[in-house]
Structure formats: structure tokens, C-alpha cells
Amino acid sequence: MEVVIRENPRQAADLTARLVARELRSNPHLVLGLATGRTMEAVYSILVRMHQEEGLDFSQATTFNLDEYVGIPPDHPGSYRRYMEEHLFNHVNLEPRRTYLPRGMATDIETECRQYEAMIRNHGGIDLQILGIGRSGHVGFNEPLSAMRSRTREKALTPETIEQNASVFGGKAKVPRWAITMGVGTILDTRECILLATGEEKADIIAKAVEGPITSMISATALQLHPHCIVIVDDAAAARLQHTDYYRWIFENERHWAEFR
């Protein structure tokens, strides 16, 4: 795991987008794992600008999203399919048939989960996975007690997650109680991953995820086991990390970061 600290949310999002763009340019057939949430909106905005102004080409890429709510249709304002269309898919040249999300309206959720895993395998696995982190430390919807070897499955949402997403649905009572999510094991199988977190409200959980013990109570701690994981945070989200001087020194001195400094 590498930790990169940028001064503010914009710089953190810009670095994340530039890393994605670099991978896409080096491998036009990139299989890209995507996340949703407010933190990701800035990343997608920058990628859209790169497409429009710099010709960043998504035409041969394939995307797999981490998760989707159970029981709401794709055109629902709270669905992640709708989110992705509004923030990325409708603004770049991604082929719609190459954009995959779990189907929350599937009649057989278990079969849907198995088929989603199979689709990822059939595409050769995910090359680069973008991640956010919830206040309880979940990646995807891998809520507390998610097994480290878990695969795509249906997961009950915690009250904290429901409250965090209530504004999108117009109140807690309207938030779905279940979601389909890639498992922790599915995420660990990706070739590379980038976790982006900004703001002081993420400082406690980032400290636990990066420097705390590995535990199924905080699924993001499993990323400590990933061989190629980058955690990008702003100063506020890094506030409770113990080794910030070391992380900053690496970014300023390692050759592989030279083009991003």
C-alpha cells in the first residue's frame, strides 16, 4: 500500500483521474472498476474534461461497478446506473454494452451475483479498481463482518450507511435495505486499486484502514493485503495518520511519482 497526501480535495481527485487516464492510454482495452458517491464526482468530471479536451478514448474500455441497490430500477434517481450515466457514461465514448453494473431488479439475486463474478472473469479480471470508503470503513457495500474472501453477493446495509445515503432518496425510510456488492475477495483480485478519500469526516476511518489492524469489521483494512494499492487523501482526511512525513517523503522522492509532482 502507498499513501499519497495532496493539499485539497481537488488535487486528490486530479491525481486519481490522471492515474486512470495513464492506465487507459497505455491499455485502451482497460477493464476498469468504478465506484460511486460524492467523492467520485470530481474524478469523473475531470475524466470527462480529458475526453472532451484531450481526446481521452474510452471506446475500447470495459467497466464494472462495485455495487447496486436491490429493488430499484436502473432509471431510479438513486440507482448507481443512473449516477454513472449522469456523471460519466453519457459524456464519454464508452460503449454502453461494455458498462456493467449488478442488476438490482434481478428476480434471482443469487444467480445475478454468480453471473456478475463470471462476467468479470470472462473479461480477464479488473485491471484497475477505483474505490471510495464509507464512514464505517466499507468498500463497495462490504459492511462490517464481511469476509476477506467474500465474492459478489447480496448484503444488508447498516443504519449508518442508510443514514449516509438518505439525502439521495429523500429520507432514511426510502433507502433500500439491501444491495448487491462485489466482495472483499473480488476487490483483492483486481490487479491495481486506488482508494480516494477527502474531508475531515474521513480522517478517523482512514487512519484505521491504513494503519490499524486488519479486521472484517472494517473491510477497507483488507487493502493492506493488496500488492498494488494506492490510497489518495487530502490533508484533512490524512489528519489522524501517524506517518504522514514518511508518506510525503515517498511521493516527493520516488521516481515513479515524478510525472505527477
| CA dist., res. 261 & res. 185, Å (int) | 33
Q: What is the pLDDT of residue 54?
A: 97
Q: What is the pLDDT of residue 133?
A: 97
Of the candidates 141, 146, 164, 128, the one whose C-alpha atom is nearest the C-alpha of residue 70 is 141
| CA dist., res. 141 & res. 134, Å (int) | 9
| CA dist., res. 35 & res. 101, Å (int) | 10
Q: What is the pLDDT of residue 230?
A: 98
| CA dist., res. 104 & res. 69, Å (int) | 6
pLDDT tens per residue, range 31-90: 999 999 999 999 999 999 999 999 999 999 999 999 999 999 999 999 999 999 999 999
Domain that holds residue 11: 2-260
pLDDT tens per residue, range 153-167: 999 999 999 998 999
Q: What is the count of structural domains for the chain?
A: 1
For 92, the grid coordinates are: 464519454
b/e map 188-205, b = 16+ CB within 10 Å: bbbbbbbbbbbbeebbeb
Of the candidates 108, 155, 130, 109, the one whose C-alpha atom is nearest the C-alpha of residue 44 is 130
68-71's contacts with Cβ under 8 Å and 24+ in sequence apart are 68/101, 68/102, 68/103, 68/104, 68/179, 68/180, 69/104, 69/176, 69/178, 69/179, 70/104, 70/109, 70/154, 70/176, 70/178, 70/179, 70/180, 71/104, 71/105, 71/176, 71/178
- How does residue 146 score in pLDDT terms, banded at 50, 70 and 90? very high
Q: What is the pLDDT of residue 69?
A: 98
In contact, 117 and 154? CB cutoff 8 Å: no
| CA dist., res. 14 & res. 16, Å (int) | 5
What type of residue sits at position 31?
Answer: V
- For residue 219, the domain's CATH number is 3.40.50.1360
pLDDT tens per residue, range 3-30: 999 999 999 999 999 999 999 999 999 9
| CA dist., res. 211 & res. 220, Å (int) | 11
pLDDT tens per residue, range 105-145: 999 999 999 999 999 999 999 999 999 999 899 999 999 99
Q: What is the pLDDT of residue 195?
A: 98
In contact, 133 and 197? CB cutoff 8 Å: yes
Name the pTM for this structure.
Answer: 0.97
Q: What is the pLDDT of residue 10?
A: 98
Q: What is the pLDDT of residue 185?
A: 98
Q: What is the pLDDT of residue 4?
A: 98
Partners of 234 in beta bridges: 6
Q: 10 Cβ partners below 8 Å, 6+ apart?
A: 42
For 245, the grid coordinates are: 512525513
